[in-house]
Chain A
Amino acid sequence: MNQNSRYVILTDFGSTYTKVAVADLQEKRIAAADRFPSTVATDARIGLQQCFDAACQAIGKGEFEQALKLSSSSAAGGLRMGVVGISSMLSLQAGRNAAFGAGAKILRTCTGKMTEADMEELCALPLEILLFCGGYERGNSSVLLHNARMLADSTLHIPIIYAGNSAVAPDVRRILTLGRKEFYVVRNIIPEVGMLDSGPVESIIRDVFLKRIINMKGLDKVAGMLDKMVMPTPAAVLRAGELLAAGTPDQEGVGDLMIVDVGGATTDIHSYAEQTPYEGAKIVGAAEPYTKRTVEGDLGMRESSGSLCAEIGMERMCRDAGLKEAEISRIIGRWVTEKYVLAQTEDERKIDRLLAAGAARISARRAARISARRHAGRIERIASAGVKTVQQGKNLTGVRTVVGTGGPLIFGGSPREILSGVLRSPSGEPDILLPEESDFYLDRDYVFFAGGLLREVDEDAALSLMKNSLEKI
């Protein structure tokens, strides 16, 4: 590694592909980009070597050796977390935002006093980190102590991050130590009414992730080939979007922004906008961050093709693809078992497109219905609170830029149709705080992960190469 090298090699271990982008810091653009079917399940080095060979060919051996090599990873299903809070609207919501913001996927949440059943479910899941929060400062303590005891007595053996009321932190520390748990204590995520302090939680999650990933089977062997495994892929994309929206001191960003990232296993929605009250509404619930990410699990492409197909409806799939049910079932069946297979024939590409459109439709539906309470905010008129409207969640009605990224969107076709699913219908969903109209762009060169990694080294170059990749659709 050489600090003055002209190029940075940026790689990403995804669940479907291992991707590479070679950033030219001098020209502030992508010199080369490629992707290869993921080999994480067998030997991650193979895919990485293919990436490196491609990079080497593009810039020559000398430059390649000099270049800084950074990587992100979402392999093996990404970073899987559980979140335990007290109330759903305050501590749990703050905890969820922090976990998503650090690039995690949330498999299970609990509120209030944990029960044996909660504990059993948590233990049965392949969780990697548990975020445990609740209570303002000087607020609730008994629920926290109860939950600490439940966790201490459980068979859960993953790192626990405590970000609740600091008044009971010494007790929580004692209880978890006696339960022989690995834990971290950070500042209260909701120190007082209306305040949010999620920075320490997010940074601990990323640290734990990095420790874990370099010891992970399949990826442990690649560490020597890289300068640094920097962060989970979703966190890289999230940081890339943040840079694209806000800009650098020398270069303007694009302003308020939403990103739809249809991935191999999940669909992420990111938004970058200051929280604003919609038409002067009163804002309730946990404070919303400028940079917000939510993940719609089980909506990604390959691994969940089966459930997706079921949601879209086989009848519709047959009609839209012009194929017989048996043929569709055969192709999807193969994709579910062999994750790395690409859509090759025209029939396969048709099904791929239909699934992507279906995934976006469903993700839009979730953004408009369920995620009206999760990602985009929602307006409520509460009779018992006078005529005032109440807003919970983030107001995204002012966003006029929606960018799509992720393989299925970039390579799958019909990206505009897919992205327009984030818009709200003014008559049908007047209370959902999503934009009614927007411009749509595609991350044509598939470089957002690279932008997020490169941001660590050179913000201006990172921003330029993302802007160069944007294609209006």
Chain B
Amino acid sequence: MKIVMNKRFEYKDLPDMKEIWSQVDKIAAQTTIGETLFFKKHGVKSEAEFKRKAISEGYISKHSHIGWNSWDETARNVEYIYNELERRGSYITRMGFIFDWIMGVPEEHRSKLQPGTGLIFKSPDEWKAIGQIAPIQPHMSDHMIGCPNAIENARLALEAGVTSLGNVSHYFTYEYPGIELERERTVNSLLGFGLMGKFDGTIVHSNLDDGYGNQFHDLVNLTGWTMIERYLVEELLGASMTFSYGNLFSDPISRIVFNMACDATNKKNTPGTMTFGNTIDYGTDFSRNYGALCSFSQADAICQRHKPTGHAVASVPVSEACRVPTADEIIEGHLCIDVMIEKSKLLEPFIDWSKVEAERDILVSCGRVFFERVMNGLDDLGVDVRHPGEVFAALKAIGAEQLEIHFGVGRSEKAAMRGREPVKPTDIVKTLQEKQSRVFAGAGNIAKRLEGKRVILGSTDIHEYGKEMVKSLCSVAGADIFDLGTYVTPREIVENILETESRVVVISTYNGIALSFARDLMERLNENGLGDTLIIMGGLLNENMDGSQLAVDVTEDLRALGVNADNVMEQIVPAIAGAYEAGGGEGVL
């Protein structure tokens, strides 16, 4: 097993859990949970208490995420939304407040980051005000636990009466460029989770969209991943946790299945926070967006009717993909989903639940296999699986891709992405698989076409699906493939051409730098006498020219440089073969 550990710090040097717990106890002794207007109105001490009551009464919670950058505007809009919804016979239960990213790092490091557009609190009083605008329960997930300033933020939030805090997923994927505080981040997150565990009714929230959820290709592995997060937060750190997701599913039934799969391991019966909307279906046509809003909110409501988990149904304004929505657009969304919630009780009895449960059972049982494999793997790597800090840091050092490659549940398949056929591909992967079968059908018989021929592959950014598809094609065609991964640099490509004698380099690009990348690469190739290497570029062949905001197509400029910019996946294998035939099949060196 060749696992590359991208360690950010030596996790073996973390304080032992005794020390962590003694700190947690100290902080807990100085912390009291504040009372929000929402708690007062409903006579509860935590959101979990409210949700348990709501579940028994058949009440479905509703959620909105808001992101205005000034406190005054935020307070004014929150109050307006609450009152206006009441006036129009609707309601809202909870709201997610978006923090500025600089809140994620300790005060002394904030000057190193460019402030963004989210909220910035400077004193405990400013924190406390968040629950006192209107009887809507605040939820905080971004830049809270999981970030370097985890413990301070968690404590201040609890004091303010915010009892649902995120975000476990952030730990694995959010970065604060220029600030390297991984050790602090790990320790502070352990303290934060530990602190949450000291107070009944608190909920640790993980939005899988923000973390490895977006990076796994197979839903069964993602289900296993939720078991890993739950093991860390609940079993080792004594808190209660729930999962959230939104963009992972375009298929409404998948949302229900996945919710039920996550709930299958919810031994503590922790109520859910919310299910996010699927904004991938959102575009610039607001009428279509209304359809998308109805589709996912209805599914989420049906799910809550059948097996209430407490997850609020989210209203995502139809303007979300285009701009920061106005208060009125948020209100319109809520009125729309009210109808979906109302009608869901009529649909719920006619769903074939045994089919849904069968799907759930596949996710859960395969998820367990993933969980076990990862835990055994960590143990083999010398990680103390009883120390949550070591496990958090090691999982981050391994990354979603390697976890899926080495511990994934799908059967091995050479041509598949990550070397495995997903048991239940995510919607993103499903779309790609469909594209792949179209490409393979269009490419004709390519078997052995590239035998003995070498190809270098790489992507100029994080996107690897295009590269992976080329890899599948080349692999079926029998090529010797040298995969340089993501974020390749022109220099790296040149050095690898030297080591491999490849005559062809295929580059996938999506980040609007196609032309400058090609220019730099061509220059270096010529400097090294490798000018006759065939460069094939595909993906989004555009670039922002002369400081303009709009990227323009650069296909013709690339062709002028001698790059193959046909951007036709089906033609890649013949193009590679052609480069070798033209050169007599021998290396260029």
Chain A positions near chain B (C-beta within 8 angstroms): 86-91, 111-113, 134-136, 138-143, 190, 192-195, 255-256, 274, 276-280, 282, 284-285, 382-386, 388, 390, 397-398
The answer to whether A385 and B488 have CB atoms under 8 Å apart is yes
The answer to whether B178 and A279 have CB atoms under 8 Å apart is yes
What are the residues of chain B within 8 A of A382 when measuring CB–CB?
A: 489-491
The answer to whether A139 and B489 have CB atoms under 8 Å apart is no
Task: Quote the shortest CB–CB distance from A126 to chain B (angstroms).
Answer: 29
Q: Is B571 an interface residue (CB 8 A)?
A: no
Q: Is B513 an interface residue (CB 8 A)?
A: yes
Cα distance A284–B489 in the bound complex, in angstroms: 9
Instruction: Evaluate whether A256 and B10 lie within 8 angstroms (CB atoms) in the complex, with A88-B495, A139-B500, A193-B482 already known.
Output: yes
What are the residues of chain B within 8 A of A90 when measuring CB–CB?
A: 495-496, 498-499
Task: Quote the shortest CB–CB distance from A248 to chain B (angstroms).
Answer: 14
What are the residues of chain A within 8 A of B9 when measuring CB–CB?
A: 276, 398
| B 136-182 contacts with A by CB, 8 A | 175, 177-180
For the residues of A in contact with B, the DSSP-based class is: loop
Closest A-B pairs by Cβ, 3 of them: A87-B498, A87-B495, A139-B500
Which A residue's beta carbon lies closest to that of B484? A193
What are the residues of chain B within 8 A of A274 when measuring CB–CB?
A: 5, 7, 10
The answer to whether B8 and A194 have CB atoms under 8 Å apart is no
The answer to whether A190 and B460 have CB atoms under 8 Å apart is no
Count residues on chain B whose CB falls below 8 Å from chain A CBs: 46
Q: Is B442 an interface residue (CB 8 A)?
A: no
Cα distance A388–B460 in the bound complex, in angstroms: 10
Which A residue's beta carbon lies closest to that of B512? A386
| B 6-29 contacts with A by CB, 8 A | 6-10, 13
The answer to whether A385 and B460 have CB atoms under 8 Å apart is yes
Q: Is B501 an interface residue (CB 8 A)?
A: yes
Cα distance A131–B312 in the bound complex, in angstroms: 65
The answer to whether B4 and A194 have CB atoms under 8 Å apart is yes
| Given A139-B501, A279-B178, A398-B9, 9 other A-B residues pairs in contact with their CB atoms under 8 A | A90-B495, A111-B498, A134-B499, A139-B482, A140-B499, A274-B10, A383-B513, A384-B516, A386-B511
| B 475-531 contacts with A by CB, 8 A | 480, 482-492, 494-496, 498-501, 511, 513, 516-517, 519-521
The answer to whether B516 and A86 have CB atoms under 8 Å apart is no
The answer to whether A384 and B513 have CB atoms under 8 Å apart is yes
The answer to whether B6 and A135 have CB atoms under 8 Å apart is no
Task: Quote the shortest CB–CB distance from B405 to chain A (angstroms).
Answer: 14
Task: Quote the shortest CB–CB distance from B525 to chain A (angstroms).
Answer: 13
What are the residues of chain B within 8 A of A87 when measuring CB–CB?
A: 494-496, 498-499
Cα distance A136–B456 in the bound complex, in angstroms: 12
Q: Is B583 an interface residue (CB 8 A)?
A: no
The answer to whether A86 and B499 have CB atoms under 8 Å apart is yes
What are the residues of chain A within 8 A of B499 when measuring CB–CB?
A: 86-87, 90-91, 134-136, 139-140, 190
What are the residues of chain A within 8 A of B4 when measuring CB–CB?
A: 194
Instruction: Evaluate whether A89 and B480 lie within 8 angstroms (CB atoms) in the complex, with A279-B177, A384-B520 already known.
Output: no
Instruction: Evaluate whether A135 and B516 lie within 8 angstroms (CB atoms) in the complex, with A277-B8, A279-B180 already known.
Output: no
Cα distance A386–B512 in the bound complex, in angstroms: 8
The answer to whether A89 and B2 have CB atoms under 8 Å apart is no
Cα distance A91–B496 in the bound complex, in angstroms: 10
Which A residue's beta carbon lies closest to that of B456? A193
What are the residues of chain B within 8 A of A388 when measuring CB–CB?
A: 461, 487
Instruction: Evaluate whether A140 and B501 lie within 8 angstroms (CB atoms) in the complex, with A89-B492, A90-B496, A280-B177 already known.
Output: yes
What are the residues of chain A within 8 A of B58 when measuring CB–CB?
A: none
Task: Quote the shortest CB–CB distance from B457 to chain A (angstroms).
Answer: 10
Which B residue's beta carbon lies closest to that of A137? B480
Which A residue's beta carbon lies closest to that of B457? A193
Which B residue's beta carbon lies closest to that of A279? B180
Task: Quote the shortest CB–CB distance from B589 to chain A (angstroms).
Answer: 5
Task: Quote the shortest CB–CB distance from A137 to chain B (angstroms).
Answer: 9
What are the residues of chain A within 8 A of B471 when measuring CB–CB?
A: none
